Structure 1
């Protein structure tokens, strides 16, 4: 992904000692990356990992300077100069303990949920040789790319996690020094830090002395604050919903998937029936849906994961039900849903009611939800749209289960395995499979893919994703361009759409 700023490094004057002010869409109630899912997203600010993955999907050094792996084991050799934020040297045993700790749902609920569908593993260490060895209970394609990029919490944060929810205990480029409930959050740079991605340092020109994270739930408000000079950067998957920035504002365009539609298959939900799911998708013209979802600027999605994700490919076009309203009606008839007196289909005296839940803050997702509801009403469904905040969306989809279609911005992540917890395994709170998807072919194929190393596994991972689309478990609506807007700064964006912390540079203006 390209850097963001007014020109290339040689064309600008960098500003030292300043503050980078970034907008968050959600508050972070707990900054411990093993105990809070939102904190885990922003963990690279405070916590390092054994290796890092560049925006181009290349694996580079982190805490480890050397590494090797098969599908069943990996060995990492640590640098000898890494220290925790309190000055304590980081030992290989500390890293192994942090990795093992993340499998315990009682001690590390967010981390354990993220790893719920990863085969069990054990990490061992040798402090003399500074090596950490990971042994898998079953083959896994991405030991280095996934386990190697897990945040490493220092020993104090492992021993007393409750003490490090509003302060940090990591080796990362910044330290959490100020916490206010609901934001803002203040982070200060670590002097002497030089073990970042591929040897990145914090003593380079333009590196911020501090970062302030402010919570602004709506992109429109964030855009106004950026234009006014109150913040320096914000991200939106829905750029058409914000005020047009002035010439002093630059942007990084991020290829993205919008309108990730996941059906609820929990017991008692009408969308647990594959005939109903296939009928609903057959009733929708993919081209029209994509036009609505992107304001006419995108195209039908070709994959479930973002285009920049590792192993991404076209898994949708040939596998989703073709647009055919007559076939959609036939499928509902076959499923026992017949037109009632008022035109709404019924079965056993029950109306075909569909609740679509989506983000109130996204104009494009709201429009997409209304479009889907309209098409499904034509089919004979009593379709309603519920627009909620992002936090309420999480509550409704993960806790209440009172929905048929969850329409979100898309699955974040840079690996096909990042999607596995959302599309298989336990439902919340034990896991992240909110739709209770149980696709045997998907599970078979991810097992087969996991036996293949890294890039060689990609074709089978794509087949696994296609199995979800064929069974109408999930479907992505459109490919679009999400945007990071920024002023007087430049940075790189990772495949998961987060800013690479060590790439941030402030520009004089």
Structure 2
């Protein structure tokens, strides 16, 4: 039976109790290193905004959606593998999925093609930020054949990344009980909404979220290689905003898997059995607001901002050098990225100062860009050194999303933290063309770089991957050279793991964190 959300005062008190040891300044208990048999994994998470997978916008939304809602397909190191679908036939315009036998909702309702169709229709119409990437900025036609056990997705325009898009956690299948109660779904309070392995049993907002494994669940993805360890019967996600405290909680055995920052890595060196897993993660890119009222309708001002930046220094400040300096709009693990600089504007602060002196700039950026947003502060100071008058809003992820996506008149420049769940250069290129975000499109900055939309349109219809990549590389180069977007770095996601616990992210699937108990 699902438990209801605790009152905030009680939640805060419970959170304080958990963090007492970490905040007291006491040395970690060396006994925390020993693994003791357990069926529970305790991990960290940032505060989620919603439990409705379709409208998830940030990493905690995606991670928790993955716990409860299965997708048709998943990624692993060999490519796309079966999730709810046993097999499929796909072209750039269409994909037909045959469902696996025996899938059910958490209330026992069998998962039929009609249930999958209804969920994907709701996703396509949700206005979620990942919808354009999934279907190539168009509305799909989805049909179900319950007799044949198939679901077919048809697209009017070709989109070579449809199959990859459907691996995203936001496409997780919501069962009828959840679709019937959207508000309850967003709050995580609908019994029977889940199609995946875990059911949320308790939520203390801003403190912790508890999940339990369904006793009847058997349809784990068909990964191409064995995932070490066993799924936990219970998962507890704890909000732990202090990175020093988080490290202590892992070292003394109060947490099993936790996100840490680079400056905490040395805490785990020489600690027997502890590991720090490293994953290339979010692509940080400067995006300029090119709408009327922003100074960055002027291309010379955009170029000057790009000239101010020393990306190696930014990497040092934000990630202590552990990030990957950007060569284009995606990192080296993404399809179509060669590692060669595509249009990067060379650093030239002296030239920039001649243009930026006295220019007022409103910079809004998420705190995830280095500890407490250290990378954002670096950008502010670099621009100030060039004479610009810079106001920095260094804000939590939820506030950043709200500002950039719903208040385009309130910012001029942003550090865009892109979780490229598609894993291809096509994804960020699509954020610079077409309708703006308030018009239902994916265009964040509101500009229209010359020639980019034509290249993108041609690329999406090109089946040969090499030819398609060449078109996308040319499009990305135009975006970067025109300073519509300026690559910074890709950060490295660091997971500290206590002995006996492991987390995996397969095939570059940034929203698919697989937690396991290994016992050693």
TM over 0.5: yes
Match of 1:389 in 2: 396
1:235/1:482 contact within 8 Å kept: yes
The alpha carbon displacement at 1:60 in A equals 0.7
Which one of 480, 487, 491 corresponds to residue 503 of structure 2? 491
Asked whether 1:47 is paired with 2:69, we answer yes
Which one of 365, 370, 379 corresponds to residue 358 of structure 1? 365
Asked whether 1:102 is paired with 2:120, we answer no
Asked whether 1:155 is paired with 2:176, we answer yes
Farther-moved stretch of structure 1 (42-51 vs 426-435): 426-435
Match of 2:28 in 1: none
Q: Distance in 2 between matches of 1:432 and 1:243?
A: 40
1:123/1:132 contact within 8 Å kept: yes
Q: Distance in 2 between matches of 1:79 and 1:14?
A: 36
Gaps of 5+ in 2: 1-33
Asked whether 1:374 is paired with 2:395, we answer no
Match of 2:23 in 1: none
Match of 1:270 in 2: 295
1:305 aligned counterpart, secondary structure: coil
Q: Distance in 2 between matches of 1:459 and 1:195?
A: 39
Q: Distance in 2 between matches of 1:283 and 1:411?
A: 25
Asked whether 1:471 is paired with 2:493, we answer no
Asked whether 1:188 is paired with 2:219, we answer no
Asked whether 1:208 is paired with 2:232, we answer yes
* Per-residue CA distance 1:299-337 (angstroms, 9 max, x = gap): 53123223333443336x24022223454356x3xxxx7
The alpha carbon displacement at 1:202 in A equals 12
Alignment of 1:343-354 (within 5 A): 344-345=357-358, 352-354=359-361
The alpha carbon displacement at 1:163 in A equals 3.3
Match of 1:348 in 2: none
Structure 2 vs 1, CA of residues 172 and 481 (structure 1 numbering), >3 Å: closer, same or farther? same
1:411/1:419 contact within 8 Å kept: no
Q: How many residues align?
A: 472
1:194 aligned counterpart, secondary structure: coil
Gaps of 5+ in 1: 1-12, 338-343, 346-351
* Per-residue CA distance 1:455-504 (angstroms, 9 max, x = gap): 45333333333332122111221245331112130131142434443xx3
The alpha carbon displacement at 1:86 in A equals 1.1
2:367/2:394 contact within 8 Å kept: yes
2:495 aligned counterpart, secondary structure: strand
Match of 2:345 in 1: 321
Q: Distance in 2 between matches of 1:218 and 1:256?
A: 20
Structure 2 vs 1, CA of residues 243 and 161 (structure 1 numbering), >3 Å: closer, same or farther? farther
Structure 2 vs 1, CA of residues 411 and 464 (structure 1 numbering), >3 Å: closer, same or farther? farther
TM-score relative to the length of structure 1: 0.82
Match of 1:340 in 2: none
Match of 1:240 in 2: 263
Q: Distance in 2 between matches of 1:88 and 1:109?
A: 26
Q: Distance in 2 between matches of 1:395 and 1:266?
A: 17
* Per-residue CA distance 1:311-369 (angstroms, 9 max, x = gap): 43336x24022223454356x3xxxx7xxxxxx43xxxxxx112333344654574433
Structure 2 vs 1, CA of residues 242 and 216 (structure 1 numbering), >3 Å: closer, same or farther? farther
The alpha carbon displacement at 1:268 in A equals 0.5
Match of 1:4 in 2: none
The alpha carbon displacement at 1:296 in A equals 3.9
Farther-moved stretch of structure 1 (156-165 vs 113-122): 113-122
Farther-moved stretch of structure 1 (360-369 vs 73-82): 360-369
Structure 2 vs 1, CA of residues 85 and 177 (structure 1 numbering), >3 Å: closer, same or farther? same
Structure 2 vs 1, CA of residues 284 and 451 (structure 1 numbering), >3 Å: closer, same or farther? same
1:258/1:293 contact within 8 Å kept: no
Match of 2:200 in 1: 176
1:255/1:479 contact within 8 Å kept: yes
1:99/1:152 contact within 8 Å kept: yes
Match of 1:5 in 2: none
The alpha carbon displacement at 1:271 in A equals 1.7
Match of 1:307 in 2: 332
TM-score relative to the length of structure 2: 0.80
The alpha carbon displacement at 1:257 in A equals 5.2
Structure 2 vs 1, CA of residues 36 and 94 (structure 1 numbering), >3 Å: closer, same or farther? same
Asked whether 1:406 is paired with 2:414, we answer yes
Which one of 425, 428, 443 corresponds to residue 419 of structure 1? 428
Farther-moved stretch of structure 1 (35-44 vs 72-81): 35-44
Q: Distance in 2 between matches of 1:163 and 1:298?
A: 39
The alpha carbon displacement at 1:206 in A equals 2.6
Structure 2 vs 1, CA of residues 266 and 126 (structure 1 numbering), >3 Å: closer, same or farther? same
Q: Distance in 1 between matches of 2:385 and 2:165?
A: 44
* Per-residue CA distance 1:25-66 (angstroms, 9 max, x = gap): 2x2243121244343453221111111111x26111111111
2:437 aligned counterpart, secondary structure: coil
Q: Distance in 2 between matches of 1:244 and 1:454?
A: 48
1:16/1:506 contact within 8 Å kept: no
Q: Distance in 2 between matches of 1:138 and 1:482?
A: 35
Match of 1:80 in 2: 101
Match of 1:33 in 2: 53
Match of 2:305 in 1: 280
Q: Distance in 2 between matches of 1:297 and 1:36?
A: 28
Q: Distance in 2 between matches of 1:393 and 1:275?
A: 26
* Per-residue CA distance 1:127-177 (angstroms, 9 max, x = gap): 111111111011111121113652111122222223333146122121222
Structure 2 vs 1, CA of residues 506 and 412 (structure 1 numbering), >3 Å: closer, same or farther? same
